[in-house]
Structure 1
Amino acid sequence: MTTTPGTFTRALEALRIDGPKRALAVLTRGLRGVVVSPGAGAVAAGPVPAAKPVVVALPSTSGAPLKISILMPVYNTPADVLEAAIKSVLVQSFGRWELCICDDHSSAKETLRVLEAYRGFDPRIKITRAPANLHIARATNLAAEFATGQFVGFLDHDDELLPHALATMAGAIEAHPDADVVYSDEDKLEENGSLSEPYLKPDWSPEHLTSVAYILHFMLVRKSLFFELGGLRHEFTGAQDYDLSLRATARARRVVHVPKVLYHWRKIAGSAAAVVDAKPQALINAGLAVRDVVCAEDPGAAVSPGLFTGSFRVEWPVDPDRPVTLLMLTDSRSKFVEGRGEILMVKHAIDSILTRSTFKNIRIVVLDNGNMLPDVEEELVSKGVTVKTYSFDPPFNFPRKINAAFDLVETEDVIILNDDIEVISEDWIEALLSHSRRERIGAVGARLLYTNDRIQHAGIVMGVNGPTTHIFHNQPKDDIAYCGYSHLVRNYSAVTGAVLATRMSLVREIGGFNPDLAIDYNDIDFCLRLGELGYRIVYTPFATLYHFEGSSLVRHSVSQPDQSAFLRRWGHLVDADPYYNPNLPRDRTDCAVGAW
């Protein structure tokens, strides 16, 4: 007879905390094929709610239909909100659920009265009482010991599920039988009963998750994986769910996002739902959870606070001895720029790079259209810049020029640059290379600002105000935007080619830029082709530069042949950008959601 993974470890933990009786129950339950009772304090009797159940067959070796176990630790919960939480499970349209409640040694009589009232009310409700106050992580793990479903979900004792929540999640599992983690969107439940702050999330975004706890509620984890990971970790109390989402997604075969609000997170004075820094130790533990996961991948990684409370910056190691080529295409034009006067853009850009950048192992290569004056070229060469001339027959084709420029690159790392940029953050090169040198990253883009300190680029999304757009365009740079997206390292389908870091091995793998897109969309197409091969596209606000493009997104009329060619190739993504929730607006760039 075999045991499920981690049985003996859990039995020893149960022996230490609860004594031999609990240890024996855990050990017995771990024997495959043996069914045990819920244990002391759990009752399985009473009527089944009248809601018609939805049964989903789970493709598995056992052939058993899918069952979802909801884990709910309870501690001195106000009676009305606890009852609301329980009722939100009872009314689920999906019938194959069980609610595993662990009373974490509550002393409040109103809490105990509610729990007692639901003993025996429904056979799917299992209630046990901890022998002492274990706190949320250990209490949740204790509740999980009675779970018999293939997936465990997490419901806080003062929150609520929507009636179709489990049915919707079950449908996602049925569509993706290899899913190990499934998560949904959520909103907040105000004290007056109204709903607010819808959190409409992107599909699975690894860099986004190490920047902020975006998965949150509602999350299901395959139970076998939950136990393999050792359940929730007490040392990360306050951020135990974030810690679990980091560890579970790192091990999952597939992570599935359900783009529907299925969970109401109740705002109560002093709760994290109401104020993000209501629990300072939770923020500390969240950072430790991120550090634990990223350092397991690379011990040299560093984690520091992000640009707003509750966010984090992961800095993957950057070898200073490994050079990078800064590849700049120019037509050697001058322009009047507010606060700077008339400038020769290529010279201004290179001067800012050389004087403000902290990463020094750079090779600057400039490809000019033949318009550069001899004295300018001489000055640039004296500063170590390689200047080459590009000859072409009209009409101009940007991909052909950039592909010719790639032939001049002798390093693996390359950062493509417009000539109308100016460095702001001194470690911008390190910020880009920190991600672009990672194996599964295809391209990395920067935060670009106009001279009035409004956002020119913070990532590109599909299907907003046309085929593509710069999200958060023209928003103030200090506005953290919807859910902090503009101030997070996160994933997008594409980033602009004005400042784009990648690797030459990837350029060769996809054949460079596509000459069929002579003027427009070629940088987006470059990113999408990388994404098609499984490489992730990353935006980082920690590489910030000025971009002297005009303050209007439409600097010229879009090339209709280019747009037609782009849509023929990528039209299926215009209404299905995985990093732009389908419930966010399509007619504005600030992600502002109307009345909720």
Structure 2
Amino acid sequence: MQPITIIVACYNGAATLARALDSCLAQPEAERILVVDDGSTDASANIARIYAMREPRVRLVQMPDPGGAARARNWGALQAATPYLAFLDTGDEYLPHALAAAHSHLEQHPHEAAIRLDVDYAGFPDRLAAHPDFARHAEAISNTAPSSLVIRRGAFLALGGFPMDETFRRHGGEDGALAWALSEAFGQRRLIDAKRVRLHYRAGMAAERYLSLQLGLSEVQAALHGETLRASEAFLATAMASVRQTCGLALRGQGH
């Protein structure tokens, strides 16, 4: 079996980290669970250490200073030695057999770079969840949320990982930029027969901001939107160039 490394980027996630790790440990396909602590000032690192002492699949990696979720995820990917990568935010959790379904799909479709898991939204306030257009816009989050992604490590590295542009670190959107590049370069499908990852509501989370804008509950800041779009377009161009260059290289011993 081709195993999976789960990368859990963590910044001050002590309140929910144990729940996230328990859901990871329930996935037999996970050979390694890397908790990448991004300079937390709470008990996150201690919680990860306790799990690592009890469970050999868990390993704590500590960044020297906070650098953002994208950098933490990318560093975790560089530490991984498995052919498949999965990403889980500390506030989220896998549902039973989530990675079994993703693993089975990728094994049966060797030419697909990635698969997305369908998302269950827990605790979202009624102003969002009860809106008649919630389900339609929630699908876009299912196609971009880091916690829904299972990807071949080679494809992830060819794309350049999550973009670390300062624009994304300030305003978010790196997950959407990666999803855009992934779709353009390789395509991405989503398993929609069952909910397999749960996103728990957290005030101020990226999903809340996105839904508030799409549902007309807050106004788009034109300057910010333009800045994020330009950063996403720049990342897309760089990612596509990297993929084309990688695909164009000749393997040694296979001619010129």
Q: Which category describes the TM-score, using the shorter chain as reference length?
A: 0.7 to 0.9
Aligned equivalent of 2:8: 72
**Are positions 1:118 and 2:46 aligned together?**
no
Q: Does the CA-based 8 Å contact 1:266-1:273 persist in structure 2?
A: no
Q: After superposition, give the CA deviation of every residue in 1:57-105 in whole Å (9 maximum; x if it has no partner).
A: xxxxxxxx211111111111133x111111111112x334321111001
Q: Secondary structure at the match of 1:88?
A: helix
Aligned equivalent of 1:85: 20
Q: After superposition, give the CA deviation of every residue in 1:316-360 in whole Å (9 maximum; x if it has no partner).
A: xxxxxxxxxxxxxxxxxxxxxxxxxxxxxxxxxxxxxxxxxxxxx
User: Which residue type is aligned with residue 31 of structure 2?
Assistant: W
**Are positions 1:130 and 2:48 aligned together?**
no
Aligned equivalent of 1:224: 154
Q: After superposition, give the CA deviation of every residue in 1:165-213 in whole Å (9 maximum; x if it has no partner).
A: 1011111112211110211211212179xxx688589xxxxxx9xxx66
Q: Which has the larger radius of gyration?
A: 1
Question: How far did residue 251 of structure 1 move?
Answer: 2.0
Please point out which of 140, 161, 166 is paired with 2:99: 166
User: Which residue type is aligned with residue 9 of structure 2?
Assistant: P
| CA pair 180-128 structure 1, distance change in 2 beyond 3 A | same
Q: Distance in 2 between matches of 1:294 and 1:69?
A: 25
* Aligned residue runs from structure 1 range 146-545, under 5 A: 146-190=79-123, 215-217=143-145, 218-235=148-165, 236-237=168-169, 238-252=172-186, 255-259=188-192, 260-276=194-210, 286-292=228-234
Q: Does the CA-based 8 Å contact 1:239-1:283 persist in structure 2?
A: no
Q: Does the CA-based 8 Å contact 1:246-1:293 persist in structure 2?
A: no
Q: Secondary structure at the match of 1:66?
A: coil
Q: Distance in 2 between matches of 1:103 and 1:261?
A: 28
Question: How far did residue 146 of structure 1 move?
Answer: 1.6
Q: Secondary structure at the match of 2:79?
A: coil
Q: Does the CA-based 8 Å contact 1:89-1:163 persist in structure 2?
A: no
Q: Does the CA-based 8 Å contact 2:180-2:236 persist in structure 1?
A: no
Q: Distance in 2 between matches of 1:146 and 1:296?
A: 23
Q: Does the CA-based 8 Å contact 1:73-1:103 persist in structure 2?
A: yes
| CA pair 145-199 structure 1, distance change in 2 beyond 3 A | farther
Q: After superposition, give the CA deviation of every residue in 1:530-574 in whole Å (9 maximum; x if it has no partner).
A: xxxxxxxxxxxxxxxxxxxxxxxxxxxxxxxxxxxxxxxxxxxxx
Q: Distance in 2 between matches of 1:250 and 1:185?
A: 20
Q: Does the CA-based 8 Å contact 1:66-1:96 persist in structure 2?
A: no
Aligned equivalent of 1:420: none
Q: Distance in 2 between matches of 1:160 and 1:168?
A: 15
Q: Does the CA-based 8 Å contact 2:6-2:30 persist in structure 1?
A: no
Q: Secondary structure at the match of 1:234?
A: coil
Question: How far did residue 247 of structure 1 move?
Answer: 1.5
Question: How far did residue 283 of structure 1 move?
Answer: 5.3
Unmatched runs of 5 consecutive residues or more in structure 2: 240-256
Q: Does the CA-based 8 Å contact 2:117-2:142 persist in structure 1?
A: no
Q: Secondary structure at the match of 2:53?
A: coil
Q: Secondary structure at the match of 2:144?
A: coil
Q: Secondary structure at the match of 1:274?
A: helix
Scaled by the length of structure 1, the TM-score of the pair is 0.33
Q: Does the CA-based 8 Å contact 1:158-1:266 persist in structure 2?
A: yes
Q: After superposition, give the CA deviation of every residue in 1:134-157 in whole Å (9 maximum; x if it has no partner).
A: 111111111112212211111111
Q: Does the CA-based 8 Å contact 2:141-2:207 persist in structure 1?
A: no
Q: Distance in 2 between matches of 1:97 and 1:295?
A: 33
Q: Distance in 2 between matches of 1:296 and 1:102?
A: 26
Q: Distance in 2 between matches of 1:141 and 1:295?
A: 19
User: Which residue type is aligned with residue 59 of structure 2?
Assistant: K
Q: Distance in 2 between matches of 1:187 and 1:172?
A: 20
| CA pair 275-151 structure 1, distance change in 2 beyond 3 A | same
Q: Distance in 1 between matches of 2:97 and 2:117?
A: 12
Larger relative contact order (Cα-Cα within 8 Å, sequence gap ≥ 6): 2
Aligned equivalent of 1:510: none
Question: How far did residue 257 of structure 1 move?
Answer: 2.2
Number of equivalent positions? 218
- Note the aligned Cα RMSD (angstroms): 3.2
| CA pair 222-294 structure 1, distance change in 2 beyond 3 A | closer
| CA pair 143-165 structure 1, distance change in 2 beyond 3 A | same
Q: After superposition, give the CA deviation of every residue in 1:93-127 in whole Å (9 maximum; x if it has no partner).
A: x334321111001111x323312211222221121
Aligned equivalent of 1:352: none
Q: Does the CA-based 8 Å contact 1:151-1:221 persist in structure 2?
A: yes
The structure in which a higher percent of residues are helix is 2
Q: Secondary structure at the match of 1:132?
A: coil
Aligned equivalent of 1:588: none
Q: Distance in 2 between matches of 1:91 and 1:156?
A: 16
Q: Does the CA-based 8 Å contact 1:69-1:152 persist in structure 2?
A: yes
Scaled by the length of structure 2, the TM-score of the pair is 0.73
Q: Distance in 1 between matches of 2:196 and 2:136?
A: 11
Q: Distance in 2 between matches of 1:133 and 1:177?
A: 36
